[in-house]
Amino acid sequence: MPTDQRAWHAGLSCWRGREQCNDFSIGIELEGCDDQAYADEQYDALTDLLAALKRQYPTIGGDAIVGHSDIAPGRKTDPGPAFDWSRLSRMRDE
């Protein structure tokens, strides 16, 4: 889906005091379950996608990469406790 169109991924949501995250965010979905480890290939693909998005939107900072659980707590749980945010951060820094 083009990044300038709404993906309708967030639903009722709020991030940094702004509601309706569908209006200003890019939704990325990973296949899996909250409590199962994500595959190496998923981290590789996600890192590549984030690098491409960073080139297209250079003002996006690493602190703006969050899970659905951050923008809709109590309603959404993904990517879940099995997602290794530290690993993603290290891979993005390489």
Domain boundaries, the chain: 32-93
Looking at residue 21, what is its pLDDT?
97
Q: Read off the pLDDT of residues 36-90 as tens digits, 9 standing for 90 and up.
A: 999 999 999 999 999 999 999 999 999 999 999 999 999 999 999 999 999 999 9
Contacts of 41 (CB under 8 A, 6+ apart): none
Specify whether the CB–CB gap between 11 and 72 falls below 8 A. Answer: yes
Q: How many CA atoms lie within 13 A of 44 on its CB side?
A: 3
Q: Which candidate, 6, 22, 14, 23, places its Cα nearest to that of 69?
A: 14
The residue from 29, 31, 41, 94 that is catalytic is 29
Instruction: Read off the pTM.
Output: 0.90
Residue 21 DSSP label = G
pLDDT of residue 4: 87
Quick one: fold of 32-93? Lysozyme-like (3.40.80)
Instruction: Respond yes or no: is residue 19 known to be catalytic.
Output: no
